[in-house]
Chains A and B, each alone.
Chain A
Amino acid sequence: GAVVSQHPSRVICKSGTSVKIECRSLDFQATTMFWYRQFPKQSLMLMATSNEGSKATYEQGVEKDKFLINHASLTLSTLTVTSAHPEDSSFYICSARDRGSLQPQHFGDGTRLSIL
Chain B
Amino acid sequence: LAKTTQPISMDSYEGQEVNITCSHNNIATNDYITWYQQFPSQGPRFIIQGYKTKVTNEVASLFIPADRKSSTLSLPRVSLSDTAVYYCLVGALSGNTGKLIFGQGTTLQVKP
A interface residues (Cβ-Cβ under 8 A, vs B): 4, 6, 31-32, 34, 36, 43-46, 49, 51, 91, 93, 95, 97, 99, 102-110, 112
Choose among A32, A43, A106 the residue that contacts B98 (Cβ–Cβ < 8 A).
A32
In the complex, whether B101 has a CB less than 8 A from a CB of chain A is: yes
In the complex, whether B97 has a CB less than 8 A from a CB of chain A is: yes
A93 to B48 alpha-carbon distance, docked (Å):
20
Interface size class of B (residues with CB under 8 A): 20 to 34
- CB of B45 within 8 A of CB of A107, answer yes
Q: How far is the CB of A31 from chain B (nearest CB, A)?
A: 5
- CB of A102 within 8 A of CB of B94, answer yes
In the complex, whether B87 has a CB less than 8 A from a CB of chain A is: yes
What are 24 A-to-B residue pairs whose CB atoms are below 8 Å? Answer: A4-B43, A32-B96, A32-B98, A43-B103, A43-B104, A43-B105, A46-B99, A46-B100, A46-B101, A49-B97, A51-B96, A93-B43, A97-B98, A99-B96, A102-B93, A104-B32, A104-B34, A105-B98, A105-B100, A107-B36, A107-B43, A107-B45, A108-B43, A110-B43
B interface residues (Cβ-Cβ under 8 A, vs A): 32, 34, 36, 41-46, 49, 87, 93-94, 96-105
- CB of A34 within 8 A of CB of B99, answer yes
For A9, the closest partner residue in chain B by CB is B41
Top 6 nearest A-B pairs (CB, nearest first) are A107-B43, A44-B102, A102-B93, A43-B102, A31-B96, A107-B44
